[in-house]
A and B are shown apart, each in its own frame.
Chain A
């Protein structure tokens, strides 16, 4: 087996045993990542920055010598961090995000920063100042978003694993479209310190990996208390690596609201087949009701833009990033910097957000959406009284064509239909590849109650083994 075929866990194990050199592994991935960057339009455009060499101090720790790719929006000291936006052109953060710092402390080495939708707003990675990312399964298609560069890099074998963020599906949906594993942990499990904010009540860091064990390994390294994030939640138990191979006794719920209308036939067929495998592994399937889930998307597209409009007020050309040239006065500087620095989707969401928060409309939009959010959390609580986990397709379709949905924001937003409810409820959810439809990967989403990560990863591990998805085709 070549070193590029190793999972992060296997690589760490071999490096610790002395049978693999961390430097050799880093160089192999660095060459592949740099080649993709240098290929421009001919490549996948996964990276915004690629390391010249491994940082010298990396060495000790559980992840010693394993390279990691990190989504652009994580601040990394002295390394470009633009959140995919022109407005942060040239920004070199003076500090490193906690999630990244923990990975590096455990010995991982920073390989590259990955391309993303601007400020994590998008489901196709077409809203990036660095240009779109291509899907390694079919270069004429999108990788999903917003963590599209992270998902495509892992799928294509340009990085052993990658760090992403998920606000309404930004880890799970690209993981599904690229045929890799993506985990959004319980809100608050990983510190948000140093993540360039989109919607603070929803943003959560998480792993994109080739298998479920790697997702658990990365989660375990990143979780932990941080005095710099007051929304951090103490995880109530020790995080462990998954081992389960059966699902005996587990009750799995399938919500009709997220598994019917709007889901493509090929995706549904693959999803149904996965449910069959779950039953063969000993799980009991039943229908559950999430009556408010169909309204999640509408509530999300009020709440997330509202929070974004406030978070993005800080980009004004004063403290960091770009400033419009030769401004006539202060107001002209603010106006033109934001006009030139933000892309169309970001402007759209700032306008939606400020509108939803304006005094005449606050109750009708923001106030109402906050109450819908409560109903959605209650739906999940009721459902989890009856079942252990909820299963849905991760995304309604397989990867779609570049440019296919850019003219219709609402059609683009519908990509998040199955992932947004869990985000609003703050609960953990994982996407694992469950098969192919027309030669393109389909994702299976498993969601559990808050802090159920250990059990959720165990179930995903058992299913992964039974489904036997082969992602090799994308790594050529």
Chain B
């Protein structure tokens, strides 16, 4: 894995050769306007549905092992 990652990083390092002085970073490729929806309350996913796919859950939330064994 280390050898493979090194080969990829060597290739990626070629961008260091470019002169990018004063070039702005792309944050979004196309101008977005008005992407936000109206701020109105709406029903969210019912709790039992949200919990249904969990490997382990109680009626109220996701169950996980204790942080300290």
Chain A residues packing against B (C-beta within 8 Å): 91-95, 186-188, 201, 227, 230-233, 292, 295, 297-299, 301-302, 317-323, 327-333, 344, 347-348, 351-352, 355-356, 364-365, 367-375, 377, 408-410, 413, 424-426, 450
Contact = CB atoms under 8 A, between A and B. Distances in A.
A369 B15 contact: yes
A330 B65 contact: yes
Interface string B24-65: 111111101001111000000100011011111000001011
Interface of B: 1, 4-5, 7-9, 11-16, 18, 20, 23-30, 32, 35-38, 45, 49-50, 52-56, 62, 64-69
26 contacts: A188-B32, A230-B36, A230-B37, A301-B8, A301-B11, A320-B53, A320-B54, A321-B55, A323-B55, A330-B64, A330-B65, A332-B69, A348-B8, A355-B9, A368-B16, A370-B25, A370-B26, A371-B23, A371-B25, A373-B25, A374-B23, A374-B24, A374-B25, A408-B4, A409-B4, A426-B29
Describe A's contact surface by its main secondary structure.
Answer: helix
B63 to A, nearest CB: 9
A299 B65 CA distance: 40
A298 B18 CA distance: 12
Nearest to B21: A371
A314 to B, nearest CB: 13
A425 B15 CA distance: 17
A398 B26 CA distance: 33
A375 B18 contact: yes
B2 to A, nearest CB: 10
Contact of A302 (B1, B12, B20, B65): B12
B8 A329 contact: no
Contacts of B4: 348, 408-410
B58 to A, nearest CB: 13
Nearest to B31: A233
Contact of B11 (A351, A368, A410, A426): A410
Contact of A322 (B26, B30, B55): B55
